[in-house]
A and B are shown apart, each in its own frame.
Chain A
Amino acid sequence: MTKRTMILGMSMLAFGSAMAADPATINWSKVPAKKLTLYYPGQSSYEWLISDAHKGASKETKRGDSCVSCHDASDEEVRQGRKILKGGHPLEPIALEGKNGHVDLNVQAAYDDKNAYLRFQWKTNSKDRGGIDYPGYRYDGKEWKSYGAQRLHPNAVAGKTPTVYEDRMSIMLDDGKVPGFAKQGCWLTCHDGERTMPKEATKEEVAANALLTSIKKADVRKYLPATRSDPSDWKTGKSVEEIAKIKAEGGFLDLIQWRAHRTNIVGGVDDGYVLEWRNFDQGKNHFASNMDKDTKQPKFMYDAAKFGAKAMTADDFIGKKETFLVKSGNAVPFDPNAGWKEGDILPQYYLSAADAAGSAADNKGTGVWKDGMWTVVIVRPLGLSNDDDKALKPGGVYNVGFAVHDDQMTARGHQVSYVKTLGIGAKTKADIKAVKLP
C-alpha cells in the first residue's frame, strides 16, 4: 500500500469521526492486547454440528451446549485447523496446499464518549502483499465478463480463471438477544446450502423458495436458525412478517466487516446484520457495483492520467498495481467509445466515501499492511439507534465472534474464533476489555 493511499484512508477516518479520538493518535501501547487463535473450520456447518458426523457431540450441540465445553484444550484451535487442512478431511473437500490452519489475532479495544475503537493485528499467509485485489470485468471483444475468482470457486480450482480475492476482518456481535450465540457463536449462521458449503443451493432451488424470492435474493447466505421453521433447513423460511418481528425484538447479529479492497482505501467498514440472510444495513455502502445492469457495461473506468491507462490488462491485474477504482479520485465515467480491446479489465466495484450514507455507513476504519501483517482499526459509534444495529454502550458486555479472510478466499475460506465476550468499560468479566481513552 502506498503512502498516498494510507494518508487518504487515515484522513477519511479522521474526518468521519470528528469530535472523537483520531484512531491514528491513540497510544495503542497503553491498551491491553488479547491474543486469540482463529482456525479454519472448513464445511463445519450448523447442520454438521448437530449431526452424528460431529462425533460424540450431536446430542450436546442440539441441546445448545457451548463449543468450548468440549473444545477447551489450550491448543484447540491450532489442532482443529491443522486437522481439517491436513488433506482428505471430510470437512474440507479441496486440497488447499499451503493454507494455514490457524491465525493468531491480536485484539485491542478502547472507547471514548463517541466511539468504540477496535484494533486487530494478524500475519497474512502471503508474505509478499496484503490481499488488496479483487475480481474484475474483462472485455472479450464483445462483452464485459467476470474475471478472476476466489480460491474456492470451481473455476479457480479448475484453473479457468485467476485466483483473486480481498482480505477481510469480520466481527459478529450479539447483545444477548440471539438464542444460542453466546454458546455456539458464528456456527449458528453457517449452514448447508450456502455458497461453498455442502448441498450448495442451485439457482432453481433459490428461485422456487418463497422467502428468498420475497426478499429478492439469488443465493443462500448466512442466516440465524430462528428464521427457519426447521432451523437446519434453509428452505423452510418463516414469513417476512415473522422475521420482521424477530428483528424488532433484537434477535439479529450485527456484522461489521473491514475489506482490504472495497472499503479500506476510502476509510470505510461495512455495517451489516445477519438474520434471514447476510444483509447490509439501510443506506449506501462504501462500495457499489461497477456494472450497469441496463447497458451491461461498466459505469466507471480509470482516469488514464491518474492510473496510467484507462483499464488494467491481465499483466497488471493481480499483484502489480493498486487497482482500486475511486469515484472522484481515479475514476471517470465509462466511455463505450474509448477503443476497448479484448483483454481490457476494469474493477467490479467502485468505491466512494462520499456516497456512503445511512446506517450502512456507520462504521469507519483503516488498515495498513506492513512486513506481512495487517494492522486494522475499526471505529464503531456508540449508542446507535438504527433498527439494524446493536447499540454499544459503556458498561455493556457483548458476545462476539471474529473471522479473518486471507489467501484469496471468501465464504468458508476463513479462520474463525470460538465465541468471546467484549466489555465496554464493564465491571463484569469479559475476554476483551475496552479501556476508556483519556
Chain B
Amino acid sequence: MPRQASPLIAFAAVAGLCLSAPAFAQVDAAAAENLFKDNDCHKCHHETKSKKGPSLKKIAAKYKEKKLDEKEAIKHMTSGKKVKLDDGTEEDHKVIDTKDVKVQMNVAKWMLAR
C-alpha cells in the first residue's frame, strides 16, 4: 500500500513553493545565461569548477557569507576594476556589455542564486 505524504510535509512543500515562486520569477535565467555567455564571462567563470576566475558557486557562497548583495556584484561587473588571479598577477575585470540596470540586476541575481 503506497504511503501517503503527511499533511505537514504537504503544507511545507506548498508553502515553500508559494514563498520561492515570486523570487524565482524575478530572474529570467535564460536571458541571464545568454548575456553571461555572450560577454564571454563563462571563459573565466564556470558553474562549479575554478577556471581563471572563481566558480559561480564559489562567488555565490562568498557573497552569502559576506552578506553582499546584487548591487555589489553589478559594481564588480561594470567597474572594470583590477582582480587578483591565482598566479599573483592582476588583470582588469571585463566590463559587461550592457548599461541596462534591469538586465545587470537579472544577471547578478542569476549568478548569486547558484
Report A's interface with B, CB cutoff 8 A.
55-57, 59-60, 69-73, 75, 79, 83
A residues in contact with B37, CB < 8 Å? 73, 75, 79
9 A-B pairs closest in CB distance: A70-B43, A73-B42, A79-B37, A73-B37, A56-B94, A56-B44, A55-B94, A71-B43, A56-B91
* B52 contacts partner chain A, Cβ-Cβ < 8 Å: yes
B residues in contact with A57, CB < 8 Å? 43
Report B's interface with A, CB cutoff 8 A.
37-38, 40, 42-44, 46, 51-52, 89, 91, 94
Q: Which of B40, B42, B46 contacts A55 (CB 8 A)?
A: B40
Q: Closest Cβ of chain B: how far from A111's Cβ, in Å?
A: 36
- Given contacts A79-B38, A83-B38, whether A70 and B94 have CB atoms under 8 Å apart is no
Cα(A394)–Cα(B65), bound, Å:
54
A residues in contact with B40, CB < 8 Å? 55-56
- Given contacts A56-B43, A56-B44, A56-B91, whether A70 and B38 have CB atoms under 8 Å apart is no
Cα(A70)–Cα(B44), bound, Å:
6
The A interface is mostly helix, strand or loop, or mixed, namely loop
Q: Closest Cβ of chain B: how far from A253's Cβ, in Å?
A: 26
Q: Closest residue to A73 on the B side, CB-wise?
A: B42
A residues in contact with B91, CB < 8 Å? 56
A residues in contact with B89, CB < 8 Å? 59
Q: Closest residue to B92 on the A side, CB-wise?
A: A56
B52 pairs with A60, CB closer than 8 A: yes
11 sampled A-B residue pairs with Cβ under 8 A: A55-B40, A55-B94, A56-B52, A56-B91, A57-B43, A70-B43, A70-B51, A70-B52, A72-B42, A79-B37, A79-B38
A residues in contact with B94, CB < 8 Å? 55-56
Cα(A84)–Cα(B46), bound, Å:
23
B residues in contact with A83, CB < 8 Å? 38
Cα(A70)–Cα(B51), bound, Å:
8
Q: Closest Cβ of chain A: how far from B22's Cβ, in Å?
A: 30
B residues in contact with A71, CB < 8 Å? 43
B51 pairs with A69, CB closer than 8 A: yes
A residues in contact with B51, CB < 8 Å? 69-70
- Given contacts A56-B52, A56-B94, A79-B37, whether A72 and B46 have CB atoms under 8 Å apart is yes
A residues in contact with B43, CB < 8 Å? 56-57, 70-71
Q: Closest residue to A70 on the B side, CB-wise?
A: B43
B residues in contact with A75, CB < 8 Å? 37
Cα(A279)–Cα(B13), bound, Å:
68
Cα(A199)–Cα(B89), bound, Å:
32
Q: Closest Cβ of chain A: how far from B47's Cβ, in Å?
A: 10
Cα(A146)–Cα(B44), bound, Å:
48
Cα(A85)–Cα(B74), bound, Å:
29
B residues in contact with A79, CB < 8 Å? 37-38
- Besides the known contacts A72-B46, A73-B42, 6 further A-B residue pairs in the complex with CB atoms under 8 A apart: A56-B52, A60-B52, A70-B51, A71-B43, A79-B37, A79-B38
B residues in contact with A55, CB < 8 Å? 40, 94
Cα(A372)–Cα(B43), bound, Å:
34
A residues in contact with B46, CB < 8 Å? 72
B residues in contact with A70, CB < 8 Å? 43-44, 51-52
Q: Closest Cβ of chain A: how far from B86's Cβ, in Å?
A: 12
Q: Closest Cβ of chain B: how far from A261's Cβ, in Å?
A: 38
Q: Closest residue to B47 on the A side, CB-wise?
A: A73
Q: Closest residue to A80 on the B side, CB-wise?
A: B40
Cα(A71)–Cα(B44), bound, Å:
9
Q: Closest Cβ of chain A: how far from B41's Cβ, in Å?
A: 10
Cα(A83)–Cα(B89), bound, Å:
29
Cα(A75)–Cα(B40), bound, Å:
12
B residues in contact with A73, CB < 8 Å? 37, 42
Q: Closest Cβ of chain A: how far from B82's Cβ, in Å?
A: 13
Most buried by B among A55, A57, A73: A73
A residues in contact with B44, CB < 8 Å? 56, 70
Cα(A55)–Cα(B51), bound, Å:
15
Q: Closest Cβ of chain B: how far from A84's Cβ, in Å?
A: 12
Cα(A79)–Cα(B42), bound, Å:
12
Most buried by A among B38, B43, B51, B52: B43
Cα(A56)–Cα(B90), bound, Å:
11
Cα(A55)–Cα(B42), bound, Å:
13
A residues in contact with B52, CB < 8 Å? 56, 60, 70
Q: Closest Cβ of chain B: how far from A66's Cβ, in Å?
A: 12
Q: Closest residue to B91 on the A side, CB-wise?
A: A56
Cα(A406)–Cα(B113), bound, Å:
43
Cα(A218)–Cα(B40), bound, Å:
39
B residues in contact with A72, CB < 8 Å? 42, 46
Cα(A71)–Cα(B91), bound, Å:
19
Cα(A72)–Cα(B52), bound, Å:
13
Q: Closest Cβ of chain B: how far from A85's Cβ, in Å?
A: 14
Q: Closest Cβ of chain A: how far from B99's Cβ, in Å?
A: 19
Q: Closest Cβ of chain B: how far from A73's Cβ, in Å?
A: 5
Q: Closest residue to B85 on the A side, CB-wise?
A: A59
Most buried by A among B40, B89, B91, B94: B40
